[in-house]
Structure 1
Amino acid sequence: MRRAGALSPDLAAAWRALADTLALAGEHEEAERAHLAGVKASTRDPVLAQAAMAMIEGRLNVAERALRDRLRAQPTDVAAIRMMAELAVRLGRYDDAITLLRRALELAPAFTAARELLARTLQRHNRPADALAEVEHLLAAEPDNPSVLMLKASLLVRIGDQEAAAAVYAHVLARHPQQAKGWMSYGHVLKAIGRVDDAIAAYRTALEQQPTLGEAWWSLANLKTFRFSVDDRAAMERGLRATADDENRLHLHFALGKALEDAGGDDAAAFQAYAEGNRLRRAQLGYDPDETHDQCARIAAMVDRGFLDRARGGCLAPDPIFVVGLPRSGSTLVEQILASHSMVEGTSELPDMMAIAARLAAPGKGAAAGRYPECLDDLPPDALQALGAEYIARTRVHRHEAKPFFIDKMPNNWMHVALIRAILPKARIVDVRRHPLGVGWSAYKQHFARGQAFTYDLMELGRYYADYATLMAHVDRAAPGSVHRVVYERLVADTENEVHALLEHLGLPFEDGCLAFWDNRRTVRTPSSEQVRQPIFTEGLDHWRRFEPWLAPLKAALGTVLHTYPEVEL
């Protein structure tokens, strides 16, 4: 077999056969080298080439059939295993992809392409700490690989180590400065750690390299305190004429809307720019407001049947404080106030509770599979305890301070209040509520980095707010006091009393630092990062009134919730 490989180095089958024979003989290092030679040779393998072309053309079923046939015949073909893993990623089967990639690396630990795909798959699967371990393995072999270093920086951001991420970005960009998107990512980190002037400079560098990079324009707008010049507005308009790429165009429209809104004088043009950005973004999304409404109705029915009283078991860890509501409701302000307390650590908008809910809702084996939220009624106490312990374990990577409590500020967790109460009965929940037209307009003119698919259509935004407020009213009626509500307008008008009430509900002693929250230099990754580094201001409370002539669809969808705010009549 060695002779065959020497005579025909492009014969992938010979290398695979040699690798299998060496492995059986216990010659694992040479077996790995043979596997890697087979990977190199597989670029000329007609079966794998056809599978690759089918994947490129979107014929995933054809690619899957070809790869399955190959792996049945040759189960140690590491190139085919990696391709099957890539296909699994394309199909959203992350667990399958991870299993396949670990098998490929078991056979060929130096298979760099497989390890990098494993790291990126773990990142997508919300396992940043595991992904970082694979990245460190890659960097041990190739410490200056810019692609892997950029991946490391993004993972450091995910676990909340922004300072380390900034150092990695600075290191890479010093050596490879012609990276427009790299400068933009660096700007995001600089913004999060409060180096706003440096963030602006990074975004400007990105735009010097790529003037039509819409996300960099939007990143400047997303600083909220930044103001565009007349020349900036002209550059954005030129960018819209110069690019047909929808991703760049939608960001440019959102940024131009912000520039026109701040300039004043033509609110109709500002609204039209926002509306076009929203139209483009909505066309990319598969959001179904009927699904949201149906799930909320099913959870409300469970709550009304006494689920919150029946729930038993769960993990008794008291650590989490969930801050829920709608994005742009003032939740970042509440988080900043609480994170200024000596006993509370601010983390970020953590995806872990939503990931647990998604897994319970996914089809699978067992009577409970795919029946979320109803499956919560069928789970025994030990299963609820395991889910709560899983949440605590998953979120530990985001905790960097020795404080007894931490904040999970994922706003969409309002939909999972029943799940939270079932698996973490000692966790506290704070609902931050803002006037529906105020929060609705603020969300509509915001392009979110991910999620929040309901915000790109005024009618859908109103329906979502109505579903949220109605479900929380069912919770209030079934379990009075289980959720503490902070009304944003009251917090702005009477900050001290509202903060006292909030801390009392959480069982925390009052600390003066909570009233001087703007002095807290912690990392803040949400769009409100610069606003919460200033004392409370009232200018934005009624800002939506300038655009009220265009908010009729939002008003219609809100229905009675608009007129009874902040209460809800069931």
Structure 2
Amino acid sequence: MQPRLAEAVTAFQQGRLDRARELANLELKQNPDSAKTHHLLGLIECRAGRLTEGAEWLRRAVDAEPANVAFRVMLVRALIDSGKVDQALSVAAPPSGIDQSTLPLWHARAEAADSAGRREVAASAWRCVCALQPSDWRVWINLGRDLLALNRLDEAEEAYSRAVSLAPRNPDVIRQLGLVFERANKNAQLGELLDNAIASGVPRERLADILAVRELRSGRRSEAGKLLSAADPKEDPVRWHRLAARIADDQGDATQAFAAASAMNQALAHRDSWVARAAEYRSNLSRSTQSITPQWAETLPQFPSETRPLAFIVGFPRSGTTLLDTFLMGHPDIVVLEEKGLIAAAADEVGPPESLDSADPNALRHARENYLARLDDLTGRASCLVIDKAPLNMLHAPVIHLFFGGAPIMFVRRHPCDTVLSCFMQSFTPNLSTANFLDVRDAADFYDLTMRFWEACRSVLPLNVHTISYEELVADPERQLRAAVDFLNLPWDDRLLDHRQTAADRGPVANTSYEQIVQPLNASAVGRWRRYETQLEPVLPLLLEWASRLGYPT
């Protein structure tokens, strides 16, 4: 290193940023292509809070020495800190294979992917880190977290179990594995894990929140509340407040439950960014709805009917789609694909609804073929009826019509007030859709826009729709299910009614309904919103208007 540059580095390490910048600029005049000087200037500007300028200097260093892992890592961190997570992810692609020299970059790639909400990419990167640091329980925890977010519960359990084997008395590690057991409805394994941890000397107070989960699952609400109050909410504020909301709701305390749910949503990491992105998503949805006109519908291309049996379940989140698909899984001639994102991926390929009338036919054909190929991969080209279930596929109704005109679509409806309240009080992995549930006004606005889009599509497209009421499905499942299988042109089968056995046999559930579907049917969630009328007052006019339009008494 040149003497002047070495002096600049020393000044930077001592916090004398102005002197470090002055020396680095002098060095740059003499050696304008010095990657080390560019890198140092980037560090100086980032330390000074000028992240954009710092990232530009760091990028010059990476461009000069693309194989320099340290340079890449610092650029990735600067881009993450400046909110440019997609750019960070592209920079964090290791230039070579998986070896110890690239370990810091795999770390950075995983962190960038987590910041961007790219869970698949993050999980893949953390697997590489785990391969290079197999004895570090922290990286197994990071891998487990992303796998859990992807609803790959068996893999998440494996990762967390590995972490527990490395840190058997660490309360945080035990808690994470316990949450996987709870999420997978493995109550016996949860109890065994906690009992063994306490027997090995882990203080009960350090496991208070996960012990509270066990008590709540056992119906001991009061004891759950006492345990939770002993836990530190700062350790995981989202989880703590979500559990507090559940306990208060079970105890009938609407004021406390709603306050806890509000705190849960406020505590989400990067909340403001997600709220802004959700607002933009709603704006785009509103614009798409305006394009759904008879003239637009007349110009849409049409594909030949699909020969294999295919149907869809749609509905706003928390409307009862999971309960319906669990019932239908009991039929031997039905295979349900639960929230695999197949239609959403096809919609991403072909573009927004307003552009479908002018889309390239080859691009449309390619997207349809990709959908069917993925369908075959997941079902083994099953000869029975395949039901593609994803609630917000109702926003992809034009693509369903375009690719599979006339395919049966089961639309599940629930009272709008119960639906929006349930969305607000759930803790979702954030994405452009679920980020709308962080504020109850945003949730109601999203419901309104989604239903407007759905009704616009139904008014101009010949969709083959059968509507199922959540409330009626709970009250008289046989009547609703007989109508459903008749709509699907299938024979009746008594196994349809044993939803609890089907739920036990189906394995992990890929959404927030995992706990409810293994319970006996009850109407406790019907009309729950009436206990929250005060809290819902700002959005009641909008939601009750929809309730009236959907046929609910108001």
TM-score range, shorter chain: 0.7 to 0.9
**Of 363, 366, 375, which residue of structure 2 is paired with 1:386?**
366
Question: Which letter maps to 1:326?
Answer: F
- Structure 1 pair 260/136, CA: closer, same or farther in 2 (3 Å)? closer
Residues of 2 paired with 1:456 and 1:481: CA distance? 32
Report whether the alignment pairs 1:524 with 2:509. Answer: yes
Q: CA deviation at 1:406?
A: 5.2
Report whether the alignment pairs 1:562 with 2:547. Answer: yes
Secondary structure at the aligned position of 2:332 is classed as coil
Q: CA deviation at 1:305?
A: 2.7
Secondary structure at the aligned position of 2:95 is classed as helix
Partner of 2:69: 78
Report whether the alignment pairs 1:547 with 2:537. Answer: no
Partner of 1:498: 480
Report whether the alignment pairs 1:233 with 2:213. Answer: no
TM-superposition CA deviations, 1:35-76 (whole Å, max 9, x none): xxxxxxxxx967546535655776431232112221343344
Partner of 1:432: 412
Partner of 1:252: 240
Q: Do the aligned partners of 2:424 and 2:438 also contact (CA within 8 Å) in 1?
A: yes
Report whether the alignment pairs 1:167 with 2:152. Answer: no
TM-superposition CA deviations, 1:352-384 (whole Å, max 9, x none): 6556656877xxxxxxxxxx3322222112111
Partner of 2:324: 334
TM-score, normalising length: structure 1: 0.73
Q: CA deviation at 1:495?
A: 1.4
**Of 291, 294, 297, which residue of structure 2 is paired with 1:302?**
291
Question: Which letter maps to 1:519?
Answer: Q
Report whether the alignment pairs 1:455 with 2:446. Answer: no
Question: Which letter maps to 2:222?
Answer: V
Question: Which letter maps to 1:483?
Answer: V
Question: Which letter maps to 1:466?
Answer: D
Q: CA deviation at 1:445?
A: 2.5
Q: CA deviation at 1:283?
A: 5.9
TM-superposition CA deviations, 1:127-173 (whole Å, max 9, x none): 77776666665555554443444455456556665334323322320
Report whether the alignment pairs 1:69 with 2:54. Answer: no
Q: Do the aligned partners of 2:423 and 2:437 also contact (CA within 8 Å) in 1?
A: yes
Q: Do the aligned partners of 1:178 and 1:209 also contact (CA within 8 Å) in 2?
A: no
Partner of 2:9: none
TM-superposition CA deviations, 1:418-450 (whole Å, max 9, x none): 244335657654322101122233223323233
Q: CA deviation at 1:226?
A: 4.9
TM-superposition CA deviations, 1:190-213 (whole Å, max 9, x none): 23433124336668969x779689
Q: CA deviation at 1:405?
A: 5.7
Secondary structure at the aligned position of 2:61 is classed as helix
- Mark the runs of 5 or more structure 1 residues left unpaired by the alignment: 5-9, 11-43, 362-371
Q: CA deviation at 1:549?
A: 3.9
- Structure 1 pair 62/323, CA: closer, same or farther in 2 (3 Å)? farther
- Structure 1 pair 540/201, CA: closer, same or farther in 2 (3 Å)? farther
Q: CA deviation at 1:346?
A: 4.2
TM-superposition CA deviations, 1:81-118 (whole Å, max 9, x none): 34444555666767755554445226978512223444
Residues of 2 paired with 1:61 and 1:376: CA distance? 38
Residues of 2 paired with 1:314 and 1:179: CA distance? 57
The residue correspondences of 1:448-487 to structure 2 (distance < 5 A) are 448-451=428-431, 452-487=434-469
Question: Which letter maps to 1:382?
Answer: N
TM-superposition CA deviations, 1:314-334 (whole Å, max 9, x none): 795958754332222111101
Residues of 2 paired with 1:269 and 1:127: CA distance? 34
**Of 416, 426, 446, which residue of structure 2 is paired with 1:446?**
426
Residues of 2 paired with 1:288 and 1:279: CA distance? 16
Q: Do the aligned partners of 2:337 and 2:388 also contact (CA within 8 Å) in 1?
A: yes
Question: Which letter maps to 1:338?
Answer: L
- Structure 1 pair 319/291, CA: closer, same or farther in 2 (3 Å)? farther
- Structure 1 pair 192/290, CA: closer, same or farther in 2 (3 Å)? closer
Identity across the alignment (%): 22
- Structure 1 pair 376/462, CA: closer, same or farther in 2 (3 Å)? same
Q: CA deviation at 1:124?
A: 7.2
Q: Give the paired residue count.
A: 509
Residues of 1 paired with 2:363 and 2:208: CA distance? 46
The residue correspondences of 1:34-45 to structure 2 (distance < 5 A) are none
Q: CA deviation at 1:540?
A: 2.2
Residues of 2 paired with 1:439 and 1:341: CA distance? 27
**Of 319, 323, 335, which residue of structure 1 is paired with 2:313?**
323
Q: Do the aligned partners of 1:343 and 1:404 also contact (CA within 8 Å) in 2?
A: yes
- Structure 1 pair 357/293, CA: closer, same or farther in 2 (3 Å)? same
Partner of 1:29: none
- Structure 1 pair 418/299, CA: closer, same or farther in 2 (3 Å)? farther
Secondary structure at the aligned position of 2:326 is classed as helix
Residues of 2 paired with 1:400 and 1:161: CA distance? 20
Residues of 2 paired with 1:203 and 1:491: CA distance? 37
Q: Do the aligned partners of 2:103 and 2:132 also contact (CA within 8 Å) in 1?
A: no
Q: CA deviation at 1:543?
A: 2.6
Residues of 2 paired with 1:323 and 1:203: CA distance? 38
Partner of 1:183: 174
**Of 534, 537, 540, which residue of structure 1 is paired with 2:522?**
537
Q: Do the aligned partners of 1:429 and 1:483 also contact (CA within 8 Å) in 2?
A: yes
Q: Do the aligned partners of 2:242 and 2:426 also contact (CA within 8 Å) in 1?
A: yes
Q: Do the aligned partners of 2:334 and 2:385 also contact (CA within 8 Å) in 1?
A: yes
Residues of 2 paired with 1:351 and 1:90: CA distance? 30
Residues of 2 paired with 1:107 and 1:256: CA distance? 43
- Mark the runs of 5 or more structure 2 residues left unpaired by the alignment: 7-34
Report whether the alignment pairs 1:263 with 2:251. Answer: yes
Partner of 2:339: 349
Deviates more, 1:481-490 or 1:56-65: 56-65
Q: CA deviation at 1:488?
A: 0.7
- Structure 1 pair 379/260, CA: closer, same or farther in 2 (3 Å)? same
TM-score, normalising length: structure 2: 0.75
